[in-house]
C-alpha cells in the first residue's frame, strides 16, 4: 500500500480539548475523528487496529469454546423492566423518543445484553442436555454518559465483546466455575497478545450483578479507576473491593465517662473536630442507609469513608442507599449531622477499626449535641463487625503487605451472575428428573475501543505511539527518502513487494517530502519498524532499519532486509506476549 493512495490525515497540533495522551495521539495520528460528544469515526489506520483487536478477541473466544452470534442494539423495554434495570441504570439507559406509547417509547438502546440473551435462553435452553453453552458477540453498545471524556475511554457509543454462559451447576464438570476460569484464561491471552501490561483484580459486580467478579486493569495516569495492590504483587483489587488488614488497637485510653457537649451548628467531621480540638481519628462517623426498606447504620472512623459495596455484602443485601433527611430524623430524633450509635435503636454494622477506638466522639442523637468519652462495647453493643471502609493510603493488604494505589483503565470484566437474570425473567431448564431450575449464568465483557486506547497510554513517548506488533495498523513503513531518484523508488518498491509476499503488512511512504517530515509522521503513528531507503545509504550498499520501541537503527544490505524484518517482528511479538 502506498501512502499517497491511502488516507492518513496527521497533524502537528495538539487538540485543545484533548487532555490524555491516547486521545491526543489518536487525533494527531489520524486514527479517529470526533462526530459528536462521545461518538467517533474510526479512520482507516484506526479501524485497521480496531479490527485486529477484534480478531484477537474472536480467536481466543473461539479457542475457549464460545459460540458467536449477533444480537440487536434495540431492545424492548419490557425485558429491562422485568429485571428492574430501567430504574437501576437510570439515565445511562438510552431510550428512543416516540409519541405516547408507540414502539419507540418502548425501546431502549442496549448498554449491555443480559436481558436479550436471557430471553433467548428462556426460549431455547429447556433441557440440561443443552448445557453448558457459552454464547458471545462483538456489538456496538450505547450508554448515556453525562460527560464523555478522555477520547474513546469514555464514550456514548462503543464496541464491546460480551459473552454469556449458561449452566445447570456451579461446581464440577460443565459448571459455572469451569467456564469462568476458561474465560479468565482467555482474557489473559487476549490482553497478552494485544501487548497490554494488564493486572487482574478482584472487583465489585456493580449494576451487572452477581456474586464474584474480576476486572482486568491497565495502570496509567489517564485511568479513572483505582487499582489497589500489595507492594509484592501478592494481592490486587479495585478500590471498591479492596480489603484491608485490621489496624492495631488505639490504646487503652482512660475510659472516660460519657459527657454530652453542646455543639451548635457543628454537624460535619471537620466542624466538630475543629470545635472540640480533636483529630478526625477520634470521631466515630455514623451514617444511616436504607436497605430493603429498613434503616441500616454504618460506623466508621472519622477519617475513613464507608465502602457501600462492602457494607451491602456485610449486611447481606443487594444494595444500600443513603437515607433521606426524613428517615434520619425518624431513626435518630435529630437533624442530619448529629447521629451516633449510643442508644440508637436500629441495625448497626461497625467497621473493625471502630472496635479499637477509646474515648471517642460521636453524635448524641440530639440536634446540636455530641457525646465524648464513647467506648465501643461499653456504651453501645458491637453486634455486627466487618471491614466496611474504603482502603486508603497507609493501609495494608490482608496478608500484611503495604498497599499501593494506582490509576488504571478497566479493559475487561468477568462475572459469576448466578441466577439473577434467569430468576427475574423465568429462564428455566428441566433436569434429568424433569424438575425445573433457573439457569445459572456467567457474563464476560471486553471493551475493544478501550484496549486500543490503553495500548497507547501504556506505550507512547514524546514522539508518538509505540504500537505492539500484533495490533499496529501496519507492521512496517518504508520511507523512500528521495522519491525522484529512480534507484531509491525502485528499491523501496521491491522491498515493499517482497515484505508483502512474506506476510508482512507494509506501507510505502512515497510522498515527495523531506526525510524529517516522514520520520516524524512514522513515529507519531507508531509503526513498529521503519525502513529508510535513501540515495546516500544505497550508495553505501545499505538501507536503515529502525525499531520504534527501542530506537535501535541497523544498517544492512537490501537483500538481507526481508529476513531481518521477519525475524525481528517475530522476536518483538514474543517479547510482547510475555
What CATH number is associated with residue 554? 3.40.50.800
Q: Are 458 and 473 in contact (CB under 8 A)?
A: no
pLDDT tens column, 15-52: 888 999 999 999 999 999 999 999 999 999 999 999 99
* Residue 431 three-state SS: coil
Q: Residue 3 falls within a domain, yes or no?
A: no
Task: Tell me the pLDDT band of 213, cut-offs 50, 70 and 90.
Answer: confident
Q: Is residue 462 part of a domain?
A: no
The pLDDT tens digits for 127-140 are 999 999 999 999 99
Is pLDDT at 254 greater than 80 in this prediction?
A: no
Q: Which residues contact 446 (CB under 8 A, 6 or more apart)?
A: 57, 160, 161, 162, 187, 190, 411, 412
> Is the Cα dihedral 565, 566, 570, 576 positive or negative?
positive
Residue 377 lies in a domain: yes
Task: Using pLDDT thresholds of 50, 70 and 90, give the confidence band for residue 70.
Answer: very high
What's the confidence (pLDDT) of residue 205? 58
Compute the mean pLDDT over every residue in the chain, rounded to the nearest whole number. Answer: 94
Q: Phi, psi at residue 382, to the nearest 5°?
A: -100, 70
Phi, psi for residue 113 in degrees, rounded to 5 = -125, 25
Q: How far apart are CA 132 and CA 168, in angstroms?
A: 7
Alpha-carbon gap, residue 430 to 434, rounded angstroms = 5
Domain annotation covers residue 431: yes
pLDDT tens digits, 256-308 = 899 999 999 898 999 999 999 999 999 999 999 999 999 999 999 999 999 99
The secondary element (H helix, E strand) that includes residue 497 is helix 486-501
Which residues, in sequence order, are CB contacts of 374 under 8 Å at separation 6+? 258, 284, 340, 341, 342, 357, 359, 360, 361, 362, 380
Q: Return the closest-CA partner of residue 287 out of 358, 343, 352, 362.
A: 362
| Residue 530 within a domain | yes
Tell me which long-range contacts 39-43 makes (C-beta under 8 A, separation of at least 24). Answer: 39/155, 39/156, 39/157, 40/151, 40/152, 40/155, 43/7, 43/8, 43/9
In this predicted model, what pLDDT tens digit does every residue of 334-344 receive, in sequence order? 999 999 999 99
Residue 209, pLDDT above cutoff 70: no
With helix as H, strand as E and coil as C, how does 261-303 read? EECCCCCCHHHHHHHHCCCHHHEEEEEEEEECCEEEEEEEECC
Query: Over 60: is that where the pLDDT of 208 sits?
Result: no
User: Residue 72 in 3-state DSSP?
Assistant: coil
Q: Quick one: pLDDT at residue 185?
A: 97
Is the pLDDT higher at 101 or at 395? Answer: 395
- Report the relative pairing of strands 347-351 and 384-386 from DSSP bridges: parallel
Distance CA 262, CA 277 (A): 14
Question: Does residue 485 have a pLDDT over 90?
Answer: yes
DSSP 8-state class, residue 408: E
The domain in which residue 481 lies consists of 474-577
Pair (524, 429) in one structural domain: no
Confidence check: pLDDT of 383 > 90: yes
Residue-level pLDDT at 577: 80
Q: Is 76 exposed, middle or buried (0-12, 13-18, 19+ CB in 10 A)?
A: middle
With contact defined as beta carbons under 8 Å apart, do 444 and 496 qualify? no
How far, in Å, CA of 301 to CA of 353, rounded?
Answer: 7
Q: Are 113 and 182 contained in the same domain?
A: yes
In this prediction, residues 180-208 reach a mean pLDDT of 88
Q: How many domains does the chain have?
A: 3
User: In CATH, what number is assigned to the domain containing residue 358?
Assistant: 3.90.960.10
* pTM score: 0.89
Residue 355 lies in a domain: yes
* 78 grid coordinates: 419490557
Buried b / exposed e across 493-525, counting CB within 10 Å, b at 16+? bebbebbeeeebbbbbbbbeeeeeebbebbbbb
Shared domain for 53 and 195, answered yes or no, is yes
Residues 326 and 413 in one domain: no
User: Cα 453 to chain center, whole Å?
Assistant: 12
pLDDT in tens, 311-325: 999 999 988 999 999
CB 351 within 8 A of CB 381: no
Q: SS3 for 196-238, per residue?
A: CCCEEEECCCHHHCCCEEEEEEEECCCCCEEEEEECCCCCEEE
What one-character DSSP code corresponds to residue 376?
A: B
CATH number, domain with residue 229 = 3.30.930.10
Predicted local confidence at residue 253, as pLDDT: 61
What pLDDT is attached to residue 552? 95
- Domain boundary (341, 359, 386) is at 386
Q: Point out the domain boundary residue: 355, 386, 417.
A: 386
CA distance 405 to 509: 44
Choose one of 358, 386, 414: the last residue of a domain: 386
Tell me, yes or no, whether 412 and 381 share the same domain.
no
| Vertex 66: Cα angle to 60 and 72 (nearest 5) | 105
Using alpha carbons, list the distances in angstroms from residue 461 to 35, 50, 445, 466, 523: 27, 21, 30, 7, 9
> Are both 114 and 203 inside the same structural domain?
yes
The pLDDT score that the predictor gives to residue 250 is: 65
Q: What confidence tier does 473 reach under pLDDT thresholds 50, 70, 90? A: very high
Report d(CA 471, CA 481) in Å as an integer. 26
CB 150 within 8 A of CB 222: yes
Residues 114 and 171 in one domain: yes
CA 96/CA 205 separation, integer angstroms: 27
Structural domain contains residue 392: no
d(CA 351, CA 348): 10
Question: Is 331 strand, coil or helix?
Answer: helix
- Total residues belonging to the chain: 578
536 and 430 within one domain: no
The residues, ordered by sequence, that sit 6+ positions from 129 with a Cβ below 8 Å of its Cβ are: none
Q: Please state the rounded mean pLDDT for residues 105-110.
A: 94
Query: What are the pLDDT digits (tens) for 437-446?
Result: 999 999 999 9
For cell 456514548, what's the residue?
Answer: 156
As a whole number of angstroms, the distance between CA 482 and CA 487 comes to 9
Considering the domain architecture, whether residues 226 and 365 belong to the same structural domain is answered as no
pLDDT of res. 150 = 92
Task: Identify whether residues 537 and 433 lie together within a single domain.
Answer: no
> If DSSP codes are grouped into helix, strand and coil, which group holds residue 539?
helix
Compute the distance between CA of residue 279 and CA of residue 250 in angstroms, rounded to an integer. 13
Q: How confident is the model at residue 369 (pLDDT cuts 50, 70, 90)?
A: very high
pLDDT band at residue 206 under the 50/70/90 scheme:
low
Q: Report helix, strand or coil for 143.
A: coil
Whether 5 maps to a domain, the answer reads no
Residues 205 and 73 placed together within one structural domain of the fold: yes
Regarding whether 376 and 318 lie in a shared domain, the answer is yes
> Between the CA atoms of 297, 300, 305 and 310, what dihedral angle is there, to the nearest 10 degrees?
-60
What's the DSSP call for residue 154?
B
Amino acid at each position: 500500500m502506498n501512502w499517497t493512495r491511502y488516507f492518513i490525515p496527521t497533524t502537528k497540533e495538539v487538540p485543545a480539548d484533548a487532555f490524555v495522551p491516547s486521545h491526543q495521539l489518536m487525533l494527531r495520528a489520524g486514527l479517529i475523528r470526533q462526530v459528536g460528544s462521545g461518538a467517533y469515526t474510526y479512520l482507516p489506520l484506526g479501524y485497521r487496529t480496531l479490527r485486529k483487536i477484534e480478531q484477537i478477541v474472536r480467536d481466543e473466544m473461539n479457542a475457549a469454546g464460545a459460540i458467536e452470534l449477533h444480537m440487536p442494539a434495540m431492545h424492548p423495554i419490557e425485558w429491562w423492566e422485568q429485571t428492574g434495570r430501567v430504574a437501576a441504570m437510570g439515565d445511562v439507559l438510552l431510550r428512543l423518543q416516540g409519541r405516547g406509547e408507540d414502539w419507540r417509547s418502548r425501546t431502549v438502546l442496549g448498554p449491555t445484553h443480559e436481558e436479550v440473551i436471557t430471553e433467548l435462553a428462556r426460549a431455547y435452553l429447556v433441557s440440561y442436555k443443552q448445557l453448558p453453552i457459552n454464547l458471545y458477540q462483538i456489538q456496538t453498545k450505547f450508554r448515556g454518559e453525562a460527560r464523555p471524556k478522555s477520547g474513546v475511554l469514555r464514550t456514548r457509543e462503543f464496541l464491546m465483546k460480551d459473552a454469556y454462559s449458561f449452566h445447570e451447576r456451579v461446581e464440577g464438570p460443565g459448571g459455572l466455575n469451569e467456564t469462568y476460569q476458561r474465560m479468565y484464561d482467555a482474557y489473559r491471552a487476549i490482553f497478552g497478545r494485544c501487548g497490554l501490561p494488564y493486572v487482574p483484580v478482584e472487583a465489585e459486580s456493580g449494576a451487572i450483578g452477581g456474586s464474584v467478579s474480576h476486572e482486568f486493569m491497565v495502570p496509567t495516569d489517564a485511568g479513572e479507576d483505582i487499582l489497589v495492590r500489595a507492594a509484592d504483587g501478592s494481592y490486587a483489587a479495585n478500590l471498591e473491593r479492596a480489603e484491608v488488614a485490621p489496624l492495631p488497637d488505639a490504646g487503652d485510653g482512660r475510659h472516660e465517662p460519657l459527657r454530652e457537649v453542646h455543639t451548635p451548628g457543628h454537624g460535619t467531621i471537620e466542624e466538630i473536630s475543629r470545635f472540640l480540638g480533636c483529630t478526625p481519628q477520634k470521631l466515630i462517623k455514623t451514617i444511616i442507609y436504607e436497605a430493603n426498606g429498613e434503616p441500616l447504620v454504618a460506623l466508621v472512623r472519622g477519617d475513613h469513608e464507608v465502602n457501600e459495596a462492602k457494607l451491602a455484602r456485610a449486611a447481606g443485601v443487594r444494595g444500600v442507599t443513603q437515607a433521606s433527611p426524613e428517615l434520619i430524623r425518624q431513626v435518630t430524633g435529630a437533624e442530619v449531622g448529629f447521629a451516633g450509635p449510643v442508644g440508637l435503636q436500629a441495625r448497626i454494622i461497625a467497621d473493625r477499626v471502630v472496635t479499637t477506638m477509646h474515648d471517642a466522639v460521636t453524635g448524641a442523637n440530639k440536634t446540636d449535641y455530641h457525646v465524648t468519652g464513647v467506648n465501643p462495647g461499653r456504651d453501645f453493643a458491637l453486634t455486627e463487625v466487618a471491614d466496611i471502609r474504603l482502603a486508603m493510603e497507609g493501609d495494608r493488604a490482608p496478608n500484611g503487605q503495604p498497599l499501593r494505589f494506582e490509576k488504571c483503565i478497566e479493559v475487561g470484566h468477568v462475572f459469576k451472575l448466578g441466577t439473577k437474570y434467569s430468576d427475574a425473567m423465568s429462564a428455566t431448564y428441566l433436569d434429568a428428573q424433569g424438575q425445573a431450575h433457573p439457569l445459572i449464568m456467567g457474563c464476560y465483557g471486553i471493551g475493544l475501543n478501550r484496549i486500543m486506547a490503553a495500548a497507547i497510554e501504556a506505550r507512547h513517548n514524546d514522539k508518538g505511539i509505540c504500537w505492539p506488533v500484533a495490533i499496529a495498523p501496519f507492521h512496517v513503513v518504508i520511507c523512500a527518502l528521495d522519491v525522484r531518484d529512480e534507484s531509491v523508488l525502485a528499491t523501496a518498491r521491491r522491498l515493499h513487494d517482497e515484505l508483502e509476499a512474506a506476510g508482512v503488512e507494509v506501507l510505502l511512504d512515497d510522498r515527495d517530502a523531506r526525510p524529517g517530515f516522514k520520520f516524524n509522521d512514522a513515529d507519531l503513528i507508531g509503526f513498529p519498524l521503519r525502513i529508510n531507503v535513501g540515495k546516500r545509504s544505497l550508495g553505501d550498499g545499505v538501507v536503515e532499519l529502525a525499531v520504534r520501541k527501542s530506537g535501535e537503527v541497523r544498517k544492512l544490505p537490501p537483500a538481507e532486509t526481508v529476513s531481518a524484518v521477519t525475524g525481528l517482528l517475530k522476536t518483538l511479538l514474543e517479547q510482547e506476549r510475555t
